[in-house]
Structure 1
Amino acid sequence: MVSFSARTMLLGSAAAAALIASPALAQEAPPATGDTASNQETQAEPAQANDQEIVVTARRRNEVLLDVPIAVTAYSGEQLSRQGALDITDVGDTTPNVTLETSRGTNTTLTAFIRGVGQQDPVAGFEQGVGIYLDDVYLNRPQGAVLDIYDVERIEVLRGPQGTLYGRNTIGGAIKYVTRRLAATPQFKARTNLGLYDQADLVLTASAPVADALRIGGSVARLSRSGWGKNYTTGEANYNKDIWAARGTIELIPTETAWLRLSGDYTWDKSNARGGHRLIPSILTKQPVLDDVFDSRGGLTDPKQKVTGGGVALHGEAELNDWLTVRSITAYRKDKSATPIDFDALPSIDLDVPAIYRNKQFSQELQAVIDRGPLAGVVGAYYLDANAQNIFDVRLYTLGALIGAPGFTAATFGDVDTKTWAIFGDFTYDFTPQWSVSLGGRYTNDKRRAQVLRKSYILGGSPELGGDAGYGAGIPIATTSDFSGRRTDTAFTPRASVTYKPNRNHTIYASFSQGFKGGGFDPRAQSTQAPVQTPAGIYDYMAFEPEKVNSYELGWKAALGRLQVATAIFNADYKNVQIPASVGCIVNGVTNFCGLTTNAGKARFRGLEIEANYAVAENFAAAGDKLSLAGTLGYLDAKYREFLTIVTTSPAGAVIPPTEINLAPYRKVQNTPKWTMSGSLDYTTPMAGGRLNLNSTLSYRSKSQQFELRTPMLDQKGYALLDANMVWRSGDGRYEVGLHGKNLTNTKYITAGYNFLTQNIYTGDFVLNPLTGNPIPAGGLGQEGVLTAYYGNPRQIFVSLGFNF
């Protein structure tokens, strides 16, 4: 037994250490629960859940991670609570080779990358590379995908192509957000967070059985904080939060082998638009760079920032016999985002983009889950009917003043319909207790229809956006695009794996899978531009081709006494990588704003992932003490092997005839650091009739680029984040008090940005005006120059209080 002073020192040391999520590698048989969420029958959460016993449904059946031949990381709801996680982006810090960030300008649009695959642009026409699932319902658009963490059972992150097990195929990976099932006894839970920047969060959850077979429940959340900075033009708080959210559920359980769940959720986000931070002085008005990276001068205030969205889902499951279970998932979702995007982040109307995004989707999924002796698997069918619309103006008023076109605006109306259906299946056969083989396949049919209308206005913008305070609705002077397009992409994508279990403590697997992401249409593109004469699929201005990937993976998962470990090495070969970009273009002799989507030829991603957890000791300082170490390591070598383009200048700047060249040596994969790491220490001890948990997380990400071409000042160097948490729970689980610190070193790091400066296409260096020494705005888009950054969260310290009855 150590002395009181030694124990106090131990507690203090543990509070400054690090905790991360590691794979659930327990060997106990999982309970028989549905895929949507595990049954929650207890009145309150346990005082300390074992992270090694999380049951996941990565293969559409309940398994512990030790037995799953897939690279997947799982976080339990209790674990997320201990770590003070606030939204889904928090899990990206401790999952190898994963980037999850809030997109530019909002609180609720998600930018997700897994193993180098993702999608940064949220406009209609672009499919996500990473699938986000809310209770097995695929979210077709990134708007509203930054899910706040409340009433969550677990979060699973699957890395690599997914298609033989899930309704919607995704080429990079999938993130499953799983909410809790309703309990068999009445429950009421309340949780609040109070902290710096006037943080005030309140989540209320209640449920009760109203009959033997009927349960109802719901949650309401109020999430708020003042801004981390200030907009010096509008006077508004910058990076504030003003969100209401609600979720309701009705569950019918007529028998032990069948259940039905009707759920709905809705979110109202009235937070201010996030203003970007200029990294260079303004060229025309000579305004200096602001001192605080969370401050802005952006003057665009219309439309008023507002994001609303939600949906309803009906889940049904019936066990027809001891080997066959059928499931149905029917869902409808809809959202609308009104957002002002001030690219130049200045009071002047230089490159201002008011925008409205509208999305809706209907999906239906049917599954038959088979578990008959040595054969287990799933066969299913999926249908998605989705529509994405965006309306946005590009106000180039400073340019208009120069060319005698006051209030010059380029307006875009994009409408993209997606109708996709697929059949899929994946089965595992156990030849012996040690050897098993899995085979799966998917046939996908993607149909897209796009309508794109682009107009130029003077004296204001499009009537749909109301013009602006200075001019009102503008006068149309030209229709620059009136495009209608259709395309159908089909693909069969197989998957195969071999698993060897020398004993119950080890799983070794090798797998091959193909991934596919359909082609589409860029609603920002300009149909009146003459296509560049290059090989098919490189530039088609309006349309782009499907992506395809061949992925190979070798993994080992083991329970070595106190050490739990999961490793994977992988190699992925990509073709036709879709690279969206925004550029300046000349339309009818006038500078305009155009999209240019490249199918960049070929890329190769290969890497290594390690997740480990070591139980150091128990009962060493006091009866019931537990101390554990954990760590993750991700290494990703992402390279373009072919990036074809047309150039008219040499590296030395000399003008040459149009030439097709391979720019792969000068391009890197965006949002993809080579190294992602985290290390941990977690300490739990009995205290005051309950349990006290001390943990913290130290995570590191090496340098990464915002875009394929190096962008000085905007690209982020390597950085580390330190979090620490102290949580006490009563012995019966009814009460909880926590103190949480996130980014304790107050590290400033860039998560997104805009660049519209002229660059050397080989080196990325900015081209300077020889007379003034200023950077030259790219393609005439703005006269002030655009190099604008958005930053990750600063230091946050808050107290949490929880009550469970």
Structure 2
Amino acid sequence: MRWQFRNTVPAALLMALPMPVIAAEAAPAVAADDQGAGDILVTARRRAENVQDVPVAISVVGGETLAAKGVYNINRLTQLQPSLQFFSTNPRNTFINIRGLGAPFGLTNDGFEQGVGVYIDQVYYNRIASATLDFVDVERIETLRGPQGTLYGKNTTAGAINITTRAPSFDLEGNAEVSLGNYGFKQGKASVSGPLGKTVAVRLSVATTDRQGTIFNVATSQHVNSQDNIGLRGALLWKPSEDFKVTFSGDYNLQNPVCCAQIYASVGTTQRPLNRQYAALVARFPGYKVPSTDPFDRLTDLDAPLAARNEMGGASALVEWSLGPGTLTSVTAWRYWDWAPSNDRDFTGLPIYTKVNNPTKQDQYTQEVRYNYEGERINFVVGAFAFHQKIRTSGIQETGTAASAWLLAPGSALSNNPAVLNNVVAINDIRLDNTSVAAFGKLNWKVGDRLTVSPGVRINYDKKDGRYDSVVTGTASNGTRQIVSNDPASASYNDPWTAAQRGVQASQTFEVPYSAWNLSGDINLAYAVSDDVNAYATYARSFKTGGVNLNGVPSLPDGLPALDVAIIKPEKVDHFEIGLKSQFWDRRATLNLAGFWTEIKDFQASVISNISGSNVLRGYLANAGRVRVRGLEVDLSIRPSDRVSAYASGAFTDHEFVRFVDAPCPPELAGGGTGTPIGAPGVSGTNSPANCDVSGQWLPGISHWAASWGGEYNIPATVLGQAGAVYAGYDGNYRSKFSSNASRSLYTDIDGYSVHNFRVGFRTDAVDVFGWVRNAFDRNYFESLAVTPGNTGLISAQLADPRTWGGTIRLRF
């Protein structure tokens, strides 16, 4: 299957149906920016149709544009797509949201699902960490907005990101690319494809990225938050006839940077006693001083080793068989993920926590079968999907010599004795077996020449078996090593040292099963107003699978885990959307509009609870009452001539917790005593609420306004005897203020910012040489702000890249 182009490649929205892989023809050298105007015909539903006729809100970026704009991972993709949000402090602690929905903000938990599906060559990637790899030989990336699940794969409530790599070719072809830049940036990419015989073709690709970190650690004299990535990919196509083909694919990816540091951002006042807040605690360590209180000095003094080794890979077989009036497709895949971190989770240069590391291994198996029928008035997709995942996490948490003074109440003899909390060790064994099976179908019924009705349905069964086992040991007051237990009957329960250790962390073991059936569906109406104007309306009743808490749960007064909060109920989603797709100016301009309204009942969110009689505040996942996200989106692209192209996309998103009465409190309303009256925000030594009612407040991570825009201009030129084009391009993006905490805080709102990127170069059909500068005006801004453990008032930051610049040479044959 292939795209057919008239004029140029557009920025118009592209349908991503679960049919055979669509191969794109290369754009001419003078028109490499695929965000211009024109027609794209797709045959994804076994007939050629203009993408503008397909009633789905989706954005597409082609491989040529990705390379030109330096978009080599999902994080950078957000600069081109306003409705896509990406937050990451390391690969495992990564959240991808569409229209502000997808994953709970603030906690990583193996027991819940993502609301945004990530697919690479039709293979579903369950853990976002296993999809943070650099793009290798990508043909295009499609971002579908809104619930998905009646057409393919795993059910997702917020949308899906479909990444398609370049297919093997029966014509010998290849490309190579080298980029160099500041901060020691070095990136190389190469791909070669060609026939191995009349019926077999192969493609081999490699990509590698290396860059010095943008933050300097004065404690270790290292630049941290570096990049050190390599990706390998191979595909073998066997095509014995025009009606049958099989594509075997395999890949290996390794990220092994010195990473990941979140640094000092600011200090805010909490309701803790003043002698337990950041300034007083730091004063207990004479001579200690943070290297800088200005985060944009990009300095830190983290004393624990940093590592973020992220290895992933897998293999798949894609079978496509033209059978009767339709196509039978089978996708079989195995994937693995191996995560080996080392963190400093006290966010200081003091030996409070010397280890907080949770190495994780995953194996994932998926099988999907679909049949796509094509008739004159009716076409449909029916399919089945099966998924099994096994996750094993073997973690450790260890405290150091500064823990007693930092974590225990000042003034007590125990807080002055480093031995009390030194070498308190938690060994964590976390296991999840996750199985999901589903059947789905989507019908397209052309009622008349202009109206098409498209109902869809999905039935889903999910089963999860989770186990959490944390064994904590510490030194008792008699010098012996003891289990730190919540059980009042344990021998060391009343030992004063063990009691102090239990207030920091105690042993806990539980197993929790979960299983449920879910039925969901959607209906879509599409109406052709004219040849160039199409309207659509969609209603979807969707769900996000329930789950289990696998980071521990609060303890009851008798020491047993509170298993009633171990299960997370499914999210129930009602989604409404209307849209208009239009082309004008002799189809040199495209304007698409979408309006949406999404309400979620039992929204899966982060909470903090202190069970009555329990000694420890524990964060976990639970269900909020209801949230609402609604907004408008616009996409405009124009190409008045072969010399000029431009685009602009914008989104307005209104968002709030409609009802969430037991949310975690922000730091300014936490850390104080129990009882009444409740103190004013940020007043030390006062009483704090057990939880907070945030109904009516912002959802985290969502800006009310977001936009991206840009363009390119080229003129024919001859350089060194080679005919081609000289070009200049510009891309900008903007986000308004957003909250960076699960419950909005005085200290964690991130101000709005804009980023501007430029490039200039010369290209022919075979060569492209250009220079680039990203974040050209060196805008200092935060990607995220976070409240650090213990509620001392310390706020940590994840910084965005400063200004970077460099050059790229690309060769094609």
TM-score (norm 2): 0.83
1:177 correspondence with 2:163: yes
Q: Secondary structure at the match of 2:369?
A: strand
The aligned residue for residue 141 of structure 1 is 127
The aligned residue for residue 573 of structure 2 is 549
Q: For residues 317-374 of structure 1, what are the alpha-carbon distances to aligned partners after superposition, in whole Å with 9 as ceiling and x for unaligned?
A: 00012x2110000000001111122123222232451221222210000000111111
The aligned residue for residue 660 of structure 2 is 643
The aligned residue for residue 346 of structure 1 is 348
Q: For residues 58-114 of structure 1, what are the alpha-carbon distances to aligned partners after superposition, in whole Å with 9 as ceiling and x for unaligned?
A: 88987543112111001111122222222222221222322124x1134x8642111
1:579 & 1:367 partners in 2: Cα distance? 34
Partner amino acid for 1:448?
Answer: K
The structural deviation recorded for 1:285 is 3.3
Q: Secondary structure at the match of 2:183?
A: coil
The structural deviation recorded for 1:236 is 2.1
1:130 & 1:117 partners in 2: Cα distance? 8
Partner amino acid for 1:374?
Answer: R
Partner amino acid for 1:576?
Answer: D
1:122 & 1:659 partners in 2: Cα distance? 22
Q: Secondary structure at the match of 2:113?
A: coil
2:85 & 2:801 partners in 1: Cα distance? 15
Partner amino acid for 1:677?
Answer: A
Range that drifts further, 642-651 or 495-504: 642-651
Partner amino acid for 1:412?
Answer: N
The aligned residue for residue 735 of structure 1 is 767
Q: For residues 715-768 of structure 1, what are the alpha-carbon distances to aligned partners after superposition, in whole Å with 9 as ceiling and x for unaligned?
A: 2111001011224221xx2111121221111112222343137xxxxxxxxxxx
| Matched ranges for 1:283-682 at <5 A | 283=279, 284-286=281-283, 287-288=289-290, 289-293=292-296, 294-301=298-305, 304-321=307-324, 323-351=325-353, 352-397=355-400, 398-400=402-404, 402=408, 403=414, 404-458=420-474, 480-526=507-553, 528-529=555-556, 540-561=564-585, 562-581=588-607, 591=616, 594-615=618-639, 617-618=640-641, 625-645=642-662, 652=679, 662-665=693-696, 667-682=697-712
2:610 & 2:737 partners in 1: Cα distance? 28
The structural deviation recorded for 1:45 is 7.3
Q: For residues 673-709 of structure 1, what are the alpha-carbon distances to aligned partners after superposition, in whole Å with 9 as ceiling and x for unaligned?
A: 1111123232122122112332211111011111232
Partner amino acid for 1:793?
Answer: D
Distance change (3 Å), C-alpha of 1:748 and 1:682: same
Q: Secondary structure at the match of 1:118?
A: coil
Q: Secondary structure at the match of 1:93?
A: coil
The structural deviation recorded for 1:521 is 1.3
Distance change (3 Å), C-alpha of 1:71 and 1:744: same
Q: Secondary structure at the match of 2:132?
A: coil
Answer whether contact 2:136 2:231 (CA < 8 A) is retained.
no
Find 1:105's aligned residue among 84, 90, 94: 90
Partner amino acid for 1:364?
Answer: Q
The aligned residue for residue 247 of structure 1 is 233
Distance change (3 Å), C-alpha of 1:109 and 1:61: farther
Distance change (3 Å), C-alpha of 1:594 and 1:66: same
1:673 & 1:754 partners in 2: Cα distance? 17
1:644 & 1:49 partners in 2: Cα distance? 48
The aligned residue for residue 206 of structure 1 is 192
2:437 & 2:256 partners in 1: Cα distance? 35
Distance change (3 Å), C-alpha of 1:789 and 1:165: same
The aligned residue for residue 706 of structure 1 is 740
The structural deviation recorded for 1:268 is 1.4
Answer whether contact 2:45 2:372 (CA < 8 A) is retained.
no
Percent of residue pairs bearing the same amino acid type: 25
The structural deviation recorded for 1:43 is 11
Q: For residues 122-149 of structure 1, what are the alpha-carbon distances to aligned partners after superposition, in whole Å with 9 as ceiling and x for unaligned?
A: 3311211111111111100011312323
Answer whether contact 1:499 1:510 (CA < 8 A) is retained.
yes
Answer whether contact 1:110 1:144 (CA < 8 A) is retained.
no
Partner amino acid for 1:682?
Answer: E
The structural deviation recorded for 1:524 is 1.3
Answer whether contact 2:750 2:785 (CA < 8 A) is retained.
no
Q: For residues 377-416 of structure 1, what are the alpha-carbon distances to aligned partners after superposition, in whole Å with 9 as ceiling and x for unaligned?
A: 2111000001223333333433446542322234432211
Partner amino acid for 1:298?
Answer: L
Partner amino acid for 2:90?
Answer: G
Distance change (3 Å), C-alpha of 1:54 and 1:531: farther
Range that drifts further, 193-202 or 645-654: 645-654
Partner amino acid for 1:509?
Answer: Y
Distance change (3 Å), C-alpha of 1:659 and 1:725: closer
1:717 correspondence with 2:751: yes
1:756 & 1:584 partners in 2: Cα distance? 18
The structural deviation recorded for 1:218 is 0.7
Distance change (3 Å), C-alpha of 1:485 and 1:45: farther
The aligned residue for residue 10 of structure 1 is none
The aligned residue for residue 8 of structure 1 is none
Distance change (3 Å), C-alpha of 1:419 and 1:97: same
Gaps of 5+ in 1: 1-19, 463-475, 533-537, 619-624, 758-776, 779-783
Distance change (3 Å), C-alpha of 1:610 and 1:578: same
1:150 & 1:490 partners in 2: Cα distance? 37
Q: Secondary structure at the match of 2:77?
A: helix
Distance change (3 Å), C-alpha of 1:786 and 1:361: farther
Q: For residues 155-175 of structure 1, what are the alpha-carbon distances to aligned partners after superposition, in whole Å with 9 as ceiling and x for unaligned?
A: 000011111012100011100
Partner amino acid for 2:305?
Answer: T
Q: For residues 649-669 of structure 1, what are the alpha-carbon distances to aligned partners after superposition, in whole Å with 9 as ceiling and x for unaligned?
A: 55545999999974313x421
Partner amino acid for 1:493?
Answer: S
Partner amino acid for 2:366?
Answer: S
1:660 & 1:220 partners in 2: Cα distance? 50
Name the count of aligned residue pairs. Answer: 723
Q: Secondary structure at the match of 2:59?
A: strand
Answer whether contact 1:58 1:158 (CA < 8 A) is retained.
no
TM-score (norm 1): 0.84
Partner amino acid for 1:104?
Answer: T
1:254 & 1:41 partners in 2: Cα distance? 22
The structural deviation recorded for 1:34 is 8.8
2:30 & 2:238 partners in 1: Cα distance? 26
The aligned residue for residue 770 of structure 1 is none
Distance change (3 Å), C-alpha of 1:734 and 1:47: farther
Q: For residues 453-503 of structure 1, what are the alpha-carbon distances to aligned partners after superposition, in whole Å with 9 as ceiling and x for unaligned?
A: 1222226999xxxxxxxxxxxxx9996321111111221111001111022
Partner amino acid for 1:572?
Answer: T
Partner amino acid for 2:779?
Answer: T
1:189 correspondence with 2:216: no
